[in-house]
Amino acid sequence: MSTATLFAPKIRYTSTGESQFDAMATWRAELELAYLEIDGVWGEDTPDVLAGYADFLILNVGEHPIFDLLDSLSADAEFFADLFDDDAVDFMVQDQFDAMPFNRVMIITMVDVAAPLRGHDLGAWLVAETIARMASPTDTLVLLYPHPAGPCTDSASELAGTTALSRYWQRVGLEPINSQPDILGQSTAYTTLQEARALLSVVDKVEIGVPTSQLIEEPRGYVESRHTVIT
């Protein structure tokens, strides 16, 4: 079985245009890797490989009732609504972060990395880099709910999965929100997120071998060709 080596992760940002409000924008960060063919040849024409993605939204505080913004998107987004009071961040959440003013909120609603590529911290790296690129450096509240993707067989397995994911996402620099510990958050005004990103920078040098049979070409029309990792 021939094998390809995936390396050099990078991110492509795309506006998904799902919001009907000026106060909120929705985005997808796509995780791409270059790959080395089995004979060790790599060139400019070698397609990148789509390895996963993170969906997130950014909203402006003080412009519109935040429940309405989140409710207009999905149940995943609405789950965060209790952390807000009308068009502002709830005072209990602000107190947790020394009552710092938040002008923007970044909510990561979904992260998915192709199954054959898990175990290499690509998901944590993707989120850390996305926060650094897309969140303003001093006045953004970053939020994430660490829930398992896909259906769970029972409540015990769901709880175990959520607990493990909570520990994993805390490596990005997030911490449990005191008023709603199932949700993780952090202020960009602290250095915590920057320090966590620095620790995850080793992922820049990751090299992962996958069977070439798990790489399929995407139908991209006139856009440059790209492959996708399948299970």
Q: What is the 3-state secondary structure (H, E, C) of 102-141?
A: CCEEEEEEEEEECHHHCCCCHHHHHHHHHHHHHCCCCCEE
Q: By CB neighbour count within 10 A (0-12 exposed, 13-18 middle, 19+ buried), where does 102 fall?
A: buried
Instruction: Categorize the per-residue pLDDT at 106 as very low, low, confident or very high, splitting at 50, 70 and 90.
Output: very high
Mean pLDDT of 95-114: 94
Give the type of residue at 22.
D
CB-side exposure of 3: number of CA atoms within 13 Å? Answer: 7
pLDDT tens column, 57-103? 999 999 999 999 999 999 999 999 999 999 999 999 999 999 888 99
**pLDDT score, position 217:** 76
User: What is the distance between the alpha carbons of residues 94 and 85, in angstroms, rounded to a whole number?
Assistant: 11
What is the rounded CA–CA span in Å between residue 16 and residue 6? 27
Quote the mean pLDDT of the chain: 89
Query: What's the farthest any 2 CA atoms get from each other in the chain?
Result: 59
Q: What is the pTM of this model?
A: 0.90
33 closest CA partner among 14, 49, 13, 52: 49
26 or 153, higher pLDDT: 26
